[in-house]
A and B are shown apart, each in its own frame.
Chain A
Amino acid sequence: MAKKTMLLILVLALMFTSSSCWDQKPIENQAFIIGLALDKGKQPDKIMVTFQIAQPKAFIAESPADESFWNITEEADDISTAQSQLANIMNWIPSFMHCQVILIGEDLAREGLHKYHDFILRTHEVRRRLKVAVVQGKAKDILDMDFKSALLPAFVVAEMMSQNIKYSYDLTDYMDVAEIHRADSEGFDFVLGRIIPMDNKIEMSGSGVFKNLKLVGWLSGEETMGVRFLQGNVGSGYLTVDLPEEFGDRAVLRVYEAHSRLEPELKGNKLYVRLKVRLEGDIQEIVNEKGKMNETVFLSTAQRLFEADLKEKIEHAFRKAQQEYESEPFGIKDKVKSYYPKYWKQHKDQWEELYRSAKLEIEAKVLIRRIGEVNN
């Protein structure tokens, strides 16, 4: 009897230990969704979801697969229906784990994101740091492009967003899924980076202004720079300024360090927005056909010029958002709430008027540290 029991135990043990791979999920059978494009559907109240799916086999050397990705477009009521439709037409398991970017088409953005962002927030697979951008045109077109620099369009877009932000003030990747969630629940406006599809290339500059999760208008690259300074989301980038005649045409400043600090101030019932900007940079290029100049005079003049130019650009962006779009993507609301909690509690409903009459005061300081390799 004891022997039989032992045998039974042994059989059971072997049954459970030797079945090692019965539930395996090989990586080739996973459909990694690496990009998502949302567009307005052809029928009303439907959306067109384009999934960009990476094909892991293509990354193996000498693989039989020649395409590294493919795009599947599904029209459905919502994203999860589209996802299940996707699962219906292929034998792989779709997974959002490695999603790099979400692109939103202009038409859908104008209608509002309310209806569709819930899936993205609720699904655990989607990361909250996922980048989001708005496309001027159809979002699907971006994912369909054939890039020379990398295999997968979604990667190109995601990398452009995170890398180019360090070299240019014209882009923004400030918003991610988490921030959109915050914008929705606390009711503030925001800007999303803009991508413009062109024939076989994309341009990434400027931004789309959102109010109540609806796209209300576009900002150009320069205006986006203003928004970024107001948000305090500044790093490094380039500034260009027209020089007065005795110095030449233009000067380009490579900014390697920037700080900006925005503080709201209430005086009576009027809101003053104080912005302190401090830039440090080197001169990158001087477009000058006349020849020699005196660098002592040049530096002090150029600093003043850059300061004035910066102020003007920021002011312009602020006016445009405030007057034209009546949107407040700068986070001023958030700050007023924190700085003046008592006032906020009583005057919560009057925020719109308060903001519309708000006055911006900028204190800019540009420090040019070096002038490069040549000394003229």
Chain B
Amino acid sequence: MQKQSQGLGNFQITAIVTLNAIGVAVLYIPQTAVEIAGIDAPVAMLAAGIISLILTGVIIILSKRFPSMTMIEYSRVILGKYLGFLFGAAFIIYAMITSSYVLRVFGDAMKVLLLPRTPLEIVIISMLFLCAYCVHGGISTIAKVCEIFLVPVIAVIGITIIFNLNYVQLFRFRESFANGLMPIIRAIPALTVSYLGFEILYLILPFMKTREKALPYGVAGLIIPLLVYTGLVFISVGESGETISELMYPTIHFSRRIGSTEAFVERFDIFFIAFWILAVFTTLAMFMYMWSISMTRLLSLRNYKPFIFILLPVCYIIAILPQNIVQINVLGQIVNYGGIFIVTSSIPLLLISIIRKKGGAKNG
């Protein structure tokens, strides 16, 4: 535990969770949601968000039982040496693949939206090095970056939502629940994935200044993505109905709509993309932090910084491997299943730790 001198503030935890959840998915979340849930997408999104809130709570309660340990260490205490090691390894692989996936989706989106003639490799490598530099500064650096970026990122997405509310045709939502609750329930696992990022709470609780406040502030961190995502899905269904499921980057089109009609700022989409890059940057930095620190803890080492650069090429290679959009989606599926496994396993972990009386609430 280096640089324990200050520790993370409460608001920093909120910012970290928020910006880790808001990442590449902002661009295509309406498409995914509508494709799976149809017109019920906003409701499904909300439901998935509430499930994620509960899972966040579980993770925080679990982590609070082991105040000075990260998940890598306490999973060994709970599950025993070998199973715990396996779980930790699974977590690292998951974080690794997720960061590669985020990188690749980011690179592809940049090629379509902003830099059509820049090679993908350049986009990916420059982002990787930037993130590596940020992660090298430690968790307090990441937290500060998140704190600064939180307001602009939320503001840009918020403006997009607010200025599109005008065009929402409420009659479309009459169809909600028409097919019963099944489409919503079926959509929840796939949509919970878009809130992923709160698994960072497995790792960062030991670095907090006041651990008692972790629960309210951690959960608050997920309420913002909940509102943002539900809002985005709401405006897209309200405006375009189910056609949204045919668009690759629907959110960009909604942000463009502001410039072309309100005439107070031309080409709002450029702002949107710029601040979206910040969101991707923080997400990526945190996933890189996740795998580097988990790796260190797994091998019972102290300094995680060398691991950033040791594992960087692996991350790059996984990101560059998929040849086309279909293969990227396969990677995305792996990330989804892995993510669901990682976050839902917090429930059995908590139960086992209670049954085996490992850890305790006495320390906070």
Chain A residues in the interface with B (C-beta under 8 A)? 124, 127-129, 178, 181-182, 185-186, 334-335, 337-339, 341-342
22 CB-based A-B contacts, threshold 8 Å: A124-B113, A127-B260, A128-B253, A128-B256, A128-B257, A129-B256, A129-B260, A181-B243, A182-B240, A182-B243, A186-B241, A186-B242, A335-B171, A338-B171, A338-B173, A338-B175, A339-B171, A339-B174, A341-B174, A341-B175, A341-B178, A341-B179
Chain B residues, CB < 8 A from A186: 241-243
How distant is the Cα of A335 from the Cα of B174 in the complex, in angstroms? 9
Residues B259-287 near A (CB distance < 8 A): 260-261
Residues B106-127 near A (CB distance < 8 A): 112-113
Chain B residues in the interface with A (C-beta under 8 A)? 39, 112-113, 171-175, 178-179, 240-243, 246, 253, 256-257, 260-261
Given A124-B112, A338-B174, check contact A178 B241 (CB 8 Å): no
Distance in Å: Cβ of A112 to nearest Cβ of chain B: 19
A334 and B256 contacting across the interface, CB-CB below 8 Å: no
Chain A residues, CB < 8 A from B260: 127, 129
Residue on B nearest A264 in the bound complex, by CB: B171
Residue on B nearest A25 in the bound complex, by CB: B117
Given A182-B241, A186-B241, check contact A129 B261 (CB 8 Å): yes
Given contacts A182-B240, A339-B171, A341-B178, 10 further A-B contacts (CB under 8 A): A124-B113, A128-B253, A128-B256, A128-B257, A178-B253, A186-B241, A334-B241, A337-B175, A338-B172, A339-B174
Distance in Å: Cβ of B264 to nearest Cβ of chain A: 15
Chain B residues, CB < 8 A from A127: 256, 260
Chain B residues, CB < 8 A from A335: 171
Distance in Å: Cβ of B178 to nearest Cβ of chain A: 3
Chain A residues, CB < 8 A from B179: 341
How distant is the Cα of A335 from the Cα of B253 in the complex, in angstroms? 24
Distance in Å: Cβ of A27 to nearest Cβ of chain B: 15
How distant is the Cα of A129 from the Cα of B39 in the complex, in angstroms? 23
How distant is the Cα of A337 from the Cα of B39 in the complex, in angstroms? 11
Chain B residues, CB < 8 A from A337: 175
Chain B residues, CB < 8 A from A341: 174-175, 178-179
Chain B residues, CB < 8 A from A338: 39, 171-175
Residue on B nearest A131 in the bound complex, by CB: B260
Chain A residues, CB < 8 A from B242: 185-186
A181 and B175 contacting across the interface, CB-CB below 8 Å: no
Chain A residues, CB < 8 A from B178: 341-342
How distant is the Cα of A329 from the Cα of B242 in the complex, in angstroms? 18
The 3 closest A-B pairs by CB, nearest first: A341-B178, A182-B243, A129-B260
Chain A residues, CB < 8 A from B113: 124
Chain A residues, CB < 8 A from B261: 129
Distance in Å: Cβ of A276 to nearest Cβ of chain B: 14
A185 and B246 contacting across the interface, CB-CB below 8 Å: yes
How distant is the Cα of A128 from the Cα of B179 in the complex, in angstroms? 31
